[in-house]
Amino acid sequence: MPQITPFLWFNGHAEEAATFYTSVFPNSAIGPISRPDPAGPALVVPFSLDGKAFLALNGGPQYTFTEATSFVISCNTQQEIDHYWNALTEGGTPSRCGWLKDRYGLSWQVVPAQMGALMSDPDPAKAQRVMAAMMQMDKLDIAALEAAKAGTTEAV
C-alpha cells in the first residue's frame, strides 16, 4: 500500500508549527525544508511525529482547519494525557470530551488508549456511565472514567 501522509495547510506558520509539534512528540524530526528563495520563508516543511510523516505548507489564508479533521492521540497513562493536553492547549482552546484546538487551529483528541473498551462495555449501564462522565470533562481523566464504569462515582 502506498504511504498516506497528512498535508497541513498553514498561513505563514508551517515551519513554526512543525517546530512546535516536533517539540511536543517524542521520536520526531523536521526534514529538508523547501524554500523557493533560500533567504525566504519555507514553502513545504516535511516533519515526522513519533515516526509518522506529515507535510506542512505555507499556502496562505484561503483555507483554515476545522473540527472535520482531527488527530487522535491515544495515551496509555494519565501522565501522557496531561503532557499532550497541556502542550497542545497552550495558546489554543480546550473543548469537551478530550478535544482541543491548538494555537494553529488544528483539532486534536487526547484520549486514553482504553477509551474504546470503556465506551463499548457489553453492560449498557457501564457504557452509559462512562459516556456521562466523559461529557462533563474537557481533559479526560482515566481514573474518573474507570470509576464511572465501575459505578463507584457519579459523573465528574
Q: Which of 66, 69, 67, 57 is nearest to 9 (CA)?
A: 57
Cβ neighbours, 10 Å, residue 145: 25
pLDDT(155) > 60: no
> Are the C-beta atoms of 108 and 137 separated by less than 8 Å?
no
Q: What number is the average pLDDT over the span 17-23?
A: 98
Pairwise CA distance, residues 7 & 46, whole Å = 9
pLDDT(120) > 50: yes
pLDDT band, residue 156 (cuts 50/70/90): very low
pLDDT(127) > 80: yes
pLDDT of residue 1: 83
The 3-state DSSP class for residue 16 equals helix
Is this model's pTM higher than 0.75 or not? yes
Provide the β-strand partners of residue 30.
47
Q: What number is the average pLDDT over the span 74-91?
A: 98
pLDDT(153) > 80: no
Q: What number is the average pLDDT over the span 107-123?
A: 96
Provide the β-strand partners of residue 100.
94, 108
The C-alpha cell at 54 is 506529515
> Are the C-beta atoms of 100 and 110 separated by less than 8 Å?
yes
Pairwise CA distance, residues 47 & 138, whole Å = 29
Each residue's pLDDT tens digit, 24-35: 999 999 999 999
Domains located in the chain, CATH noted: 1-63 (3.10.180.10), 65-156 (3.10.180.10)
pLDDT(154) > 90: no
Pairwise CA distance, residues 121 & 124, whole Å = 7
